């Protein structure tokens, strides 16, 4: 069954296309279930998150039109495809009520965890520099999963973008896997990491994410794993990375589910 629960549109300012254009593409490619989960608007509470994060999110005033347009397309194309209305959000304890309300407006929320807070300050998961930050990334993921607001966690190995694999990373992989099982939040195996290409390391050639070492631990917990395109451009609904990601998830022996 062809499904994708993670895709973006131009509203977030780092993707292309309208809702309807992406849906037409998905129909052409024979998707049966297609979720659009653009980055949710952010609000600042206690100086969290970073202002820079706003550059990559829709505005608060754009949320209602986004949902209305998705509802219109859902109805218009209901014979061709099942459309789901999603939002990818961060999680901050300070914003709990805000994320809860967002979840009530749409079909599902995705836990992006691109940003987290530590000692009252905002940090980016793409720039995890030390053990304390990495551990906090993991704890924040658990805080989010625990709420029950999220249908899956996207790219749970994102903290490895900068952070080296080792004892601490290993521990975080256990923490996230345990929470995934305990709170029944599937983990996403994300094609955008594959799209970013490979790097050379002392241990050989590898992707920045998905990271084999991380997923070998996930496997021991038999966590539910959902493979998504995380498409920001039309071609990414069916590109080489998309197919390779599906293939890798099987090769690495993960418990892949196709439907949420
Ligand atoms: Zn994005
Ligand atoms: Zn993301």
Cis peptide before 114 (omega within 30 of 0): no
Residue 18 CA to ligand 1 center (angstroms) comes to 15
For each of the domains in the chain, give its residue range(s) and CATH number, in order of start: 3-257 (3.20.20.140)
pLDDT in the model for residue 78 = 98
CB 193 within 8 A of CB 210: yes
pLDDT in the model for residue 142 = 98
Residue 188 CA to ligand 2 center (angstroms) comes to 10
pLDDT in the model for residue 70 = 98
Q: Tokens for 41, please give them.
A: 């608007």
For residue 131, how many other CB atoms are within 10 A of its CB? 15
Residue 172 CA to ligand 1 center (angstroms) comes to 23
Digit-by-digit pLDDT tens for the chain (260 residues) are: 999 999 999 999 999 999 999 999 999 999 999 999 999 999 999 889 888 888 899 999 999 999 999 999 999 999 999 999 999 999 999 999 999 999 999 999 999 999 999 999 999 999 999 999 999 999 999 999 999 999 999 999 999 999 999 999 999 999 999 999 999 999 999 999 999 999 888 778 889 899 999 999 999 999 999 999 999 999 999 999 999 999 999 999 999 999 99
Residues with CB under 5 Å of ion ligand 2 are 112, 154
Residue 53 CA to ligand 1 center (angstroms) comes to 11
Encode pLDDT of 160-174 as tens digits: 999 999 999 999 999
Q: Which helix (H) or strand (E) holds 142?
A: helix 131-146
pTM: 0.96
Q: How many Å is the maximal CA-CA distance in the chain? A: 53
Residue 68 CA to ligand 1 center (angstroms) comes to 21
For residue 202, how many other CB atoms are within 10 A of its CB? 4
For residue 26, how many other CB atoms are within 10 A of its CB? 26
Residue 13 CA to ligand 1 center (angstroms) comes to 9
């Amino acid at each position: 069954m062809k499904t994708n629960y993670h895709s973006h549109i131009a509203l977030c300012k780092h993707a292309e296309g309208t809702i309807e254009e992406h849906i037409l593409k998905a129909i052409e490619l024979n998707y049966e279930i297609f979720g659009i989960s653009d980055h949710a608007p952010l609000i600042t509470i206690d100086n969290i998150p970073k202002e820079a994060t706003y550059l990559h999110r829709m505005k608060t005033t754009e949320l209602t039109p986004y949902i209305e347009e998705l509802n219109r397309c859902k109805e218009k194309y209901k014979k061709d495809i099942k459309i789901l209305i999603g939002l990818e959000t961060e999680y901050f304890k300070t914003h709990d009520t805000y994320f809860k309300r967002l979840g009530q407006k749409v079909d599902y929320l995705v836990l992006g965890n691109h940003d987290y807070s530590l000692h009252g300050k905002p940090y980016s998961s793409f720039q995890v520099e030390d053990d304390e930050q990495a551990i906090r990334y993991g704890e924040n993921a658990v805080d989010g999963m625990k709420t029950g607001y999220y249908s899956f966690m996207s790219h749970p190995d994102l903290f490895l973008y900068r952070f080296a694999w080792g004892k601490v990373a290993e521990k975080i992989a256990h923490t996230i896997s345990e929470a995934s099982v305990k709170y029944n939040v599937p983990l996403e195996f994300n094609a955008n990491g594959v799209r970013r290409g490979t790097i050379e390391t002392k241990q050989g050639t590898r992707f920045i994410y998905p990271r084999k070492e991380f997923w070998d631990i996930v496997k021991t917990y038999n966590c539910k794993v959902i493979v998504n395109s995380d498409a920001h451009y039309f071609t990414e609904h069916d590109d080489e990375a998309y197919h390779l990601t599906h293939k890798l998830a099987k090769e690495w022996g993960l418990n892949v589910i196709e439907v949420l």
